[in-house]
Amino acid sequence: MGAPSYRVGQVWEGIYRSLAPDIASLTNLPRDLRAELSNRFVFPGLQAIGQTVSGRGDTQKVLFRLPDGETIESVLMRYQRRRTVCISSQVGCAIGCPFCATGQSGFRRDLSAGEIVEQALFFARSLSPRGERVTHIVLMGMGEPLLNYDNVWQAIETWHDETGFALGARRITLSTAGVVPGIDRLSQERLPIGLSVSLHAADDALRDELVPLNRRYPLRQVLAACRRYVERTSRRVTFEYALIDGLNDAVEQAQSLARLLSGLLCHVNLIPLNPGAAECSRTAASYARSRSPREQVERFRGVLESWGIPVTVRLGRGADIQAGCGQLRSRQLSIN
């Protein structure tokens, strides 16, 4: 564009450190350069068209419209010391998990790196006037991050860049349904981000139903990739396990899960099924039993702990605002 090279640094600092809401706000740039940038680039590219806040005020979900009219969701979760943003990586999802509203809405397209990055920037700008900042990012929103690998990794590097957003790599977690080549590729990256794998079942027959990707990458392959990941990185893997009443929460299934994970550096997050998930699923009748009761959750946890496997029951957040992945978008699509 013929501008001095130092202007690049000014734009970068303005967007990622000063959290400018648009190009016009980059007042350290000449007016004519701002005008030319506005003509060439779309920033901001996300338009907030819907928002819900939980009754306790600790969870905020935002529905964004993209420049092509597609929509995605992001969620801000406030903890005592953390401000965690749950980020989407695709419009819809091709995995098709029957209890997931996003999976049941189908796949539309990958998000660009900019569309992924800007979700975090939106919440960073809203937190800044209160003296708060985004402390953690989890790629656990709409889509399968490892099926949009290049754009997701570019976004991660942008968030991590010390001259801009400057978020520590260990404060970023990527969640996958078990894309084996992606797990292997992730193990070779320089940034030590966290890896989370959604299991939801301890045998292939049930996981084929709950996570259809299992038909391509069965448990044996997924666990082998996780073991390679640990060997190469010395970092533990977190396994997510949604507990569905009467389907995958029996003591025998907990024992099978413990045997699968025995000897692996890992942590298990038990997640009682989002009570609103069935409402957004075309196969809702299959999951009418909803989440496992507290007593069964505790029995399941006890089995894992008896095997020496670290386990946490994830706190439910945002159930009153349909904060489960894809639920607000599904509602908007049904209205339209």
Cα separations in angstroms, 186 against 87, 160, 176, 197, 232? 18, 16, 11, 13, 10
- Phi, psi (degrees; rounded to nearest 5) at 98: -70, -20
Cα separations in angstroms, 132 against 81, 156, 214? 10, 21, 40
Catalytic annotation present for 325: yes
Cα–Cα distance measured from residue 324 to residue 231, given in angstroms and rounded to the nearest whole number: 33
The amino acid occupying position 246 is G
Do 83 and 133 form a contact (C-beta atoms < 8 A)?
yes
DSSP state of 316: P
Cα–Cα distance measured from residue 122 to residue 321, given in angstroms and rounded to the nearest whole number: 19
Cα separations in angstroms, 49 against 38, 52, 334? 22, 11, 15
Cα–Cα distance measured from residue 95 to residue 239, given in angstroms and rounded to the nearest whole number: 17
The amino acid occupying position 304 is L
Residue in the structure block whose two tokens are 């409402």? 279
DSSP string, 106-143: -EEEEPPHHHHHHHHHHHHHHHGGGT----EEEE-SSS
Q: Which residues 6+ apart lie within 8 Å of 83 measured at CB?
A: 76, 77, 123, 127, 132, 133, 134, 135, 136
Do 178 and 155 form a contact (C-beta atoms < 8 A)?
no
Residue in the structure block whose two tokens are 């564009």? 1
Considering 73, 115, 118, 209, which one is annotated as catalytic? 73
Catalytic annotation present for 279: no
DSSP state of 202: S
Give the catalytic positions in this structure.
Answer: 73, 325
